[in-house]
């Protein structure tokens, strides 16, 4: 293995390790589909965005529906200039704030509903998000995607159920004016048993990691 | 909340035609030093609404920025230091953002602006 590769692999493991210590939802709210984004999936998502596309370091990054801040904090650790975490839930934002202090990184936090989000100027380069899958509240995933493509000027990274692939692609290109919509890889998402309605101890579902390029307004 | 974020936020209450910029009521402002990044500052300078930014910095009690600025000023390290400080080192920790049209207050607690709208505002 060459040295460059070694360095990157080290950093990937390091990032995953740092994220593993973060606080997660203490009292998850089912109506918001609050599931933690695990360190494994987060570190790979952010690494792909950074190493394959240069969309993280020296960029302004928004974590939409940031929850406890895992994705946004990972972006900050990888050298994003500014990270803004946006969520509707007070408890999650306070946890994200504590997590940022723990990691000694700066992250801006804003409490807002994605349906009413508008960030003026073309300041935001990249949106990263793990939106609700829309299983509890139909269309919630699409509200996030619409907002993300409106806010980002460079790229949107998002996770969606593999079973919704065609729908996501069609809607992004046709309704949300995306220039491109590409599945980068398929991942297994471990959902721990957080809620009473989960019958199995752990559910493993197939999700796609997407990269969207927003159209020019 | 830092002023870069303030420069992007607006009041999205239904019926409000121009919800930008939000006026700032500052109760507690803190300073946290961060490293300066010239390329970032130059990039942001081109995207910022300067007037909104200067007014915001003044409402946080920082009065060093000129009313008007153009890109040539980015060559001056004195200007860059002030710009950097106001944009990235000042934090509105407690206070409110006020809709310029309706006067509705969006509270800022623990540095987090609450932009949630009430049912009758959407």
Task: For B21-83, give the DSSP string.
Answer: SPEEEEEEEEE------HHHHHHHHHHS-HHHHHHHHHHTT---S-S---GGGGG-HHHHHHH
**Residues ≥6 apart with Cβ < 8 Å to B67:** B51, B54
CA–CA distance, A199 with A39 (Å, rounded to integer) = 24
Q: Which fold has domain A3-214?
A: Rossmann fold (3.40.50)
User: Which of A63, A110, A152 is the best mutation test for B, with the most CBs of B within 10 A?
Assistant: A110
| Average pLDDT for A134-141 | 81
User: Which of A107, A109, A111 is the best mutation test for B, with the most CBs of B within 10 A?
Assistant: A111
Does the beta carbon of B30 lie under 8 angstroms from any beta carbon of chain A?
no
Q: Tally A–B CB contacts below 8 A.
A: 66
**Residues ≥6 apart with Cβ < 8 Å to A116:** B12, B115, B117, B122
Strand-pairing partners, residue A186, are A208
Taking only the tens place, the pLDDT of each residue in A153-198 is 999 999 999 999 999 999 999 999 999 999 999 988 776 655 666 5
Name chain B contacts of A94, Cβ cutoff 8 Å: 110, 112
The CATH classification number of B3-111 equals 2.20.25.10
Domain ranges of chain A: 3-214
Give the per-residue pLDDT at B25: 98
Give the per-residue pLDDT at B39: 94
Residues 103-162 in A contacting B (C-alpha not used; CB under 8 Å): 106, 108-113, 115-124
CA–CA distance, A145 with A194 (Å, rounded to integer) = 25
Taking only the tens place, the pLDDT of each residue in A51-69 is 999 999 999 999 999 999 9
Contact A111 B1 (CB under 8 A): no
Contact B111 A109 (CB under 8 A): yes
A113 closest CA partner among B105, B113, B117, B109: B117
Is a pLDDT exceeding 60 seen at residue A1? no
User: Around A211, how many Cα atoms within 13 Å sit in the side-chain half-sphere?
Assistant: 15
Name chain B contacts of A107, Cβ cutoff 8 Å: none
Rounded average pLDDT per 10-residue block, chain B, 122 residues: 98 95 98 94 96 98 97 96 98 98 98 96 94
CA–CA distance, A216 with A79 (Å, rounded to integer) = 26
Nearest chain B residue to A91 by CA distance is B112
ipTM of the modeled complex: 0.96
DSSP-assigned letter for residue A74: H
For chain A, what's the residue count?
Answer: 217
Starting at the earlier edge strand, list the strands of the sheet with B23-31: B23-31, B90-98, B105-109, B112-113
Torsion of CA A70, A75, A76, A80, to 10 degrees: -160
Taking only the tens place, the pLDDT of each residue in A195-210 is 666 566 567 789 999 9
| Min Cα separation A81/chain B (Å) | 7
Reading the block at residue B97, the tokens are: 């953002």
Domain ranges of chain B: 3-111
């Amino acid at each position: 293995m060459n040295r460059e590769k070694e360095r990157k692999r080290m950093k990937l493991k390091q990032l995953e390790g740092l994220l593993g210590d973060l606080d997660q939802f203490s009292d998850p709210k089912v109506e918001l589909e609050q599931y933690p984004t695990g360190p494994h999936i987060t570190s790979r998502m952010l690494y792909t965005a950074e190493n394959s596309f240069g969309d993280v370091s020296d960029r302004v990054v928004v974590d939409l529906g940031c929850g406890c801040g895992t994705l946004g904090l990972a972006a900050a650790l990888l050298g994003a200039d500014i990270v803004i975490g946006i969520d509707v839930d007070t408890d999650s934002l306070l946890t994200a704030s504590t997590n940022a202090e723990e990691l000694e990184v700066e992250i801006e936090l804003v409490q807002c509903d994605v349906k009413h989000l508008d960030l003026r100027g073309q300041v935001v380069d990249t949106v990263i998000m793990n939106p609700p899958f829309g299983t509890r509240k139909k269309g919630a995933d699409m509200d996030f995607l619409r907002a993300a493509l409106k806010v980002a000027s460079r790229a949107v990274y998002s996770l969606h159920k593999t079973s919704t692939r065609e729908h996501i692609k069609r809607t992004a290109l046709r309704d949300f004016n995306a220039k491109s919509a590409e599945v980068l890889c398929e991942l297994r998402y471990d959902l721990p048993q957080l809620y009473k309605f989960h019958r199995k101890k752990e559910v493993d579902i197939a999700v796609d990691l997407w990269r969207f390029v927003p159209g020019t307004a | 909340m830092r002023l870069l974020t303030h420069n992007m936020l607006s009041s999205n209450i239904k019926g409000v035609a121009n919800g930008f910029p939000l006026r700032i009521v500052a109760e507690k402002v803190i300073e946290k030093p961060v490293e300066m990044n010239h390329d970032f500052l130059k990039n942001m300078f081109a995207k910022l609404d300067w007037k909104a930014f200067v007014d915001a910095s003044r409402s946080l009690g920082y009065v060093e920025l000129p009313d008007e600025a153009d890109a040539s000023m980015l060559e001056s390290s004195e200007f860059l230091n002030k710009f950097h400080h106001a944009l990235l080192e000042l934090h509105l920790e407690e206070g409110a953002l006020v809709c310029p049209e309706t006067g509705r207050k969006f509270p800022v607690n623990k540095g987090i602006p609450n932009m949630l709208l009430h049912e009758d505002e959407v």
